[in-house]
Structure 1
């Protein structure tokens, strides 16, 4: 898997998403991992009218015959992607990537994967000024729409309030909801939203995104921190505060994971310094079981 900074350096979200998804699937096939969209029960000859996306072009090139891969998991889903676009997602890691940069790459890759599986994919960008919502679709034009929305999103303000979020939970539609967020909230508004979505839509996969410098507290000496959402500042000695910070962070992460799982979410922690394969594997596992 390419590193997140190399993928971001491509400056082409469509190309990066394809590189991530196909690189993962090729690696998974070589290692014989099991999971949705990665292993196939059998091949059968192509017949007119078959979906060309399931055609094994490599096998065709070697044998001059056309075969379709019949997946062990052959059902399509509705996949609803949620992006937290509050200002805290502007936090920048030591590798130069913001959380929003990483989230763009991840969600674009998941959208590409889901589309290749034949799923209807939608996207909702959560910001205080309102929801930017692309309803789930399975047509060929949906991916460019999703890429454009992700490329143009800007993180600002705090997480939207209940009134802004209300349209998301007003309708019942069976879907696999995938939320990417750093889970910085003031009154449990994110977990409240996901609880309601689980009740109205079904399965929820929560991808908790943190930066590497948050996890390791790599700062040194006197540092001034500014809250990206409230603007408040705090001056500390990083070396002196590191032990207490790391202890409190680990406790918060344990509590967050336990709470999410108690509420029925699938929870997975991510770092902006790590390749995207962990999140993709969780998505495919969840898709297989949905």
Structure 2
């Protein structure tokens, strides 16, 4: 099992992306048994190191099994990756990994999967000082560009204002948009952006990243919390506040998921202590239906 800590410990984003993507595909294949009498004469099982451009994504999404086609087919599309780089993404889990660090690993693995399939993949980093945008491309040099942008990004400030975000929705371009964010917002600025992107681009997959220590509220005793974006601090007794916190968090997560789906987004919650497999599987399913 390739945990986020192990991938982060490689200190090499390109290697971590490849290990995560190929480990996911190989693990999913190995965990399934073939039904009696099933014949796939035009396929062969995926093996680590195989060219992912020959992977039959439609069959994988239907059966959760991974096979290569004997003959390639053109199923490419445009994948637009969005990273929320506001300061709240600096929140650190008990495993030492920040939300931003987890998002780096995930987006690098998604870019690798998309590029190997022949998709044009782009990246936009959403920062208050301005957008860092890599237009979608399918050439061999795109992955190093994306890895470099992810490796050098720093989370700071608030989520960008509408004027900063305007270039993202100015042009209609059919794409699968994948947004990684902790959804920390003052109002509805993140969901408003995604609603606009769905209107001009099509499919939106929202990957909601949360740290395990905030999901489980693992803190104990008297503790001071500091808002990473406003600087405000709050002192409380963690043991005393735990039941109320968990009840309020559960209500917020339920409402957030419902609201996202009402707006037509595919929503998936992530935990920074868990492997990337769930998010990679959601991407595969959404990619199949969008292609």
1:171-224 deviations in Å (ceiling 9; x for gaps) = 000000000000000010000000000000000000000000000000000000
Structure 1 unaligned residues grouped into runs of 5+: 35-39, 45-50, 56-67
The structure-2 alpha-carbon separation of the partners of 1:217 and 1:166, relative to structure 1 and needing over 3 Å to count, comes to same
TM, length-normalised to structure 2: 0.88
Structure 2 unaligned residues grouped into runs of 5+: 35-39, 45-50, 56-67
> How big is the shift at 1:41?
7.5
Do 1:73 and 1:288's aligned partners in 2 also have CA atoms closer than 8 Å? no
> How big is the shift at 1:70?
4.2
> Which position in structure 1 is the counterpart of 2:251?
251
> Which position in structure 2 is the counterpart of 1:213?
213
Q: Secondary structure, in 3 states, of the residue corresponding to 2:118? A: coil
The structure-2 alpha-carbon separation of the partners of 1:200 and 1:232, relative to structure 1 and needing over 3 Å to count, comes to same
Do 2:52 and 2:116's aligned partners in 1 also have CA atoms closer than 8 Å? no
CA distance in structure 1 between the partners assigned to 2:16 and 2:94 by the alignment: 21
CA distance in structure 2 between the partners assigned to 1:204 and 1:256 by the alignment: 15
Do 1:124 and 1:133's aligned partners in 2 also have CA atoms closer than 8 Å? yes
> In the comparison of the two structures, how many residue pairs are matched?
267
> Which position in structure 2 is the counterpart of 1:138?
138
CA distance in structure 2 between the partners assigned to 1:286 and 1:41 by the alignment: 27
Q: CA RMSD in A?
A: 2.0
CA distance in structure 2 between the partners assigned to 1:7 and 1:71 by the alignment: 33
Do 1:104 and 1:150's aligned partners in 2 also have CA atoms closer than 8 Å? yes
The structure-2 alpha-carbon separation of the partners of 1:72 and 1:218, relative to structure 1 and needing over 3 Å to count, comes to farther
Do 1:93 and 1:212's aligned partners in 2 also have CA atoms closer than 8 Å? yes
1:123-181 deviations in Å (ceiling 9; x for gaps) = 00000000000000000000000000000000000000000000000000000000000
> 1:275-286 maps to which residues of 2 (within 5 A)?
275-286=275-286
Q: Secondary structure, in 3 states, of the residue corresponding to 2:197? A: helix
> How big is the shift at 1:31?
3.4
> How big is the shift at 1:27?
1.6
> Which position in structure 2 is the counterpart of 1:191?
191
Given the alignment of the two structures, is residue 150 of structure 1 paired with residue 146 of structure 2, yes or no? no
Given the alignment of the two structures, is residue 17 of structure 1 paired with residue 17 of structure 2, yes or no? yes
The structure-2 alpha-carbon separation of the partners of 1:258 and 1:73, relative to structure 1 and needing over 3 Å to count, comes to farther
The structure-2 alpha-carbon separation of the partners of 1:33 and 1:115, relative to structure 1 and needing over 3 Å to count, comes to farther
Do 2:52 and 2:113's aligned partners in 1 also have CA atoms closer than 8 Å? no
CA distance in structure 2 between the partners assigned to 1:88 and 1:41 by the alignment: 51
Do 2:128 and 2:161's aligned partners in 1 also have CA atoms closer than 8 Å? yes
TM, length-normalised to structure 1: 0.88
CA distance in structure 2 between the partners assigned to 1:109 and 1:189 by the alignment: 27
> How big is the shift at 1:74?
4.4
> How big is the shift at 1:111?
0.2
> How big is the shift at 1:284?
0.1
The structure-2 alpha-carbon separation of the partners of 1:72 and 1:269, relative to structure 1 and needing over 3 Å to count, comes to farther
Q: Tell me whether 152-161 or 1-10 shows the greater mean CA deviation.
A: 1-10
1:70-123 deviations in Å (ceiling 9; x for gaps) = 489741010000000000000000000000000000000000000111100000
CA distance in structure 1 between the partners assigned to 2:165 and 2:256 by the alignment: 22
CA distance in structure 2 between the partners assigned to 1:202 and 1:52 by the alignment: 25
The structure-2 alpha-carbon separation of the partners of 1:287 and 1:18, relative to structure 1 and needing over 3 Å to count, comes to same
CA distance in structure 1 between the partners assigned to 2:115 and 2:140 by the alignment: 9
> Which position in structure 2 is the counterpart of 1:129?
129
